[in-house]
Structure formats: structure tokens, C-alpha cells
Amino acid sequence: MRGEAVYYCGNRSLRIEAVTVQPPGPDEVQISVGFCGICGTDLLIYRGRMDERVGKRRIIGHEMSGRIAALGERVEGMAVGAPVVVRPLAPCGQCHPCRTGKNRLCHSLKVFGVDLEGSMQQLWNVPARAVHRLPDGLALAHAALVEPLAVAVRDVRRARVAPGEDVLVIGGGPIGLLVALVARKAGGAVTVSEVNPHRAQLAEELGFRVINPRRANLAAEVAGATHGKGADVVFEASGNQAGLDAMTEAAAVNGRICIVGMHLDSPRLDLHRVIMRELEIIGSRAYEAEDFERAIELLREGIAAERIITEMRRLGDVGEAFRDLCENPASIKTLIVVNGAST
């Protein structure tokens, strides 16, 4: 069988190629990919920032939804045609984190669409253990958000957001907005800090208090709204130095700060403030199966995650879609229509 696939070929070059698709191997499932989202990691790859890991010929994509097209040997409990998403992690299964139920922290974790061929292709063979069944009635396009929503679910879990806590999300990009939605669902009173007016407007429409840190002093605003206390939980989802400066300033004493944004360069951190306020800095990486299941449940309950989708593009327009995400400030989340809903 033949199918089309999107290859990253180094330095902002994407190529659509026809590939020969093998039947699924033992314990594998073949998926007809319906939709594939483009995320911040994909943009880092596109800009050549991850070439050491990715190489210069890789099928990208890891946020997807689709339907089962074929089953390999030994696969049980799954049916052709079933709507599914894939948890795009390939842990080794042997190391200490793997043996203690922390696949996401595997010492040699491989990620589909980064270290292994990803989901921006029409027919994709994946291990059956990575497949999650979707409930009937959930729009397949919206289900492409399960992966980033699972990231947000893990972030909120790691930060231990409790009902009634004041939560500050720094950065209202796709992940920041999803974290805000999940944190509110957990009972947090959520404020979003964002400079981009398009993103700020969406955050407001979603019902969050929004502060533009270029127009107001973020820490002072948060303190003012919390009787001088500060935020019980801060999510750093901006990925920039200003966000790192603000997170320690805006946190309450014993505040918990969850690092969500990627900081590839060595950033500055106010460790004096960490001591003086007894702050807790919490890392959060990827997700486990339970986070995928929770994300699916939240979508089914109508958490409104689909509001972050700003564009749907045909597979043939993938190059333009990436350029737009880099240049158009109104873009938040773009979905590539691979085979579409009627796969």
C-alpha cells in the first residue's frame, strides 16, 4: 500500500513524499490518521533546534487522532474502524523509571515524531499498547488535542492544584491555555499572563482573568488580587526569561512552581527568592496512560479545549501551515487534515 507522509528534511524544509506502507507487525496496529496537530516541539524541529535528536529525514507529528485500519498478529480487544489516539512514547521497559511505572521518565525514552517516525502520514504503524480508544460521539478533529491536553493533565497533577487555590499561568499559548482549563477544572481560580492580544482575548473568552505583563506589574497585580498572598501555584508556560523572572516574584510563600515551557538555553533563576519564600520548583514531563484517559474524559465532558484550534489545513499545505505558525501572531493551534474525519 502507498500513503503520503510529511518529512522534515533540515532547516525549515518539509517534504511530502509517497511512501510504501508495510502491514502492521505483531503487536502493532495500523492507523489511518485523521488529524494531526502542530505543536511547539514541531516548531522547534522545523527551526532546526532539535537536529541532533531528529536528524534530517524524519516523519514528524505526535498529536493525532484517527481510526484503526488494520490489526497485526496477537492484537486483541481492538476493532478495525474504531476511533483512537496514540500516546506517542516508546519507553525501554527495563530502566528504573520504567520498572516503577514512570514510562514518561524512561532513561532512554523515544518519542514518535521526534526520535521515531511520527503521525503526519496517512497510514501509521504503532505498538498496540500505545493506542487509546476514543468514546463514540467525540469529534475526531477535537480528539487530536488529547495529547497536548494530557500534557496539561500531568502538569496540573504534578503541581497538586487543589480547590480554592490561586493559580497563575504564565504564557497563554496552546499548552498554557490547556493548563488553565485543567487547573480550573481542578478547582483553581486561574489568572493567565499573556502579551499577545489574540491569545489574551481567547483566554478572556474562556473566562480567565488576563493580565498583560507589559502593561501592568504582574506580581503586584496577583498580590493585589490575593490580599497580598500571591499565587499558590504558578505554571511557567511561556518558555522565556521574563516568565522565569515573574514566576518567582508572583508565587506565594510555599508556592509551587511547575515548569511547563521548554528552556533549551541555560536560563537565570532567582534562587534567593526560592529560599526566602520556600518555593517549590516542580518539573513535569509528558504523560502516562492515566493522563491520556483523563484527557479523553475531559474532552468528552466538554472542557472546550477545541477553542484553541485556530486553523485546519490540508496535508498539501503543511509548509504554509508551519510558516504561518512562526509568523502569524493570531495562530494558536493548527490541525493538519491528513485523511480527515471519514478515514
Supply the minimum distance, in Å, between the C-beta of residue 210 and Zn ion. 24
Nearer CB in complex with Zn ion: 111/225:
111
Task: State yes or no: residue 59 binds Zn ion (CB under 5 A).
Answer: no
Q: Which three cell numbers stand for residue 11?
A: 532547516
| Smaller CB separation from Zn ion, 31 or 189 | 31
Judged by CB under 5 A, which stretch of 8-16, 37-45, 152-160, 301-309 contacts Zn ion? 37-45
Q: How far is the CB of 88 from Zn ion (least distance, A)?
A: 8
Binding of residue 284 to Zn ion (CB under 5 A): no
Q: Please, what is the minimum distance in Å from the beta carbon of residue 336 to Zn ion?
A: 13
Decide whether 102 or 133 has the Cβ nearer to Zn ion: 102
Q: Does 41 bind Zn ion (CB under 5 A)?
A: yes
List the one residue from 16, 70, 95, 304 that touches Zn ion (CB under 5 A): 95
* Among residues 66, 91, 113, 118, the one that binds Zn ion under rule CB under 5 A: 91
Rank residues 21 and 338 by Cβ distance to Zn ion and give the closer one.
Answer: 338
- 92 touching Zn ion, by CB under 5 A: yes
* Nearer Cβ to Zn ion (95/274): 95
Mark residues 100-129: x for contact with Zn ion by CB under 5 A, - for none: ------x-----------------------
Interaction of residue 173 with Zn ion, rule CB under 5 A: no
- The nearest distance, CB 124 to Zn ion, in angstroms, is 16
39, 189, 252, 257: which one binds Zn ion (CB under 5 A): 39
Q: Is the CB of 96 or the CB of 314 nearer to Zn ion?
A: 96
C-beta separation of 298 from 182 below 8 A: yes
Residues lying near Zn ion in the complex (CB under 5 A) are found at 39, 41, 91-92, 95, 98, 106
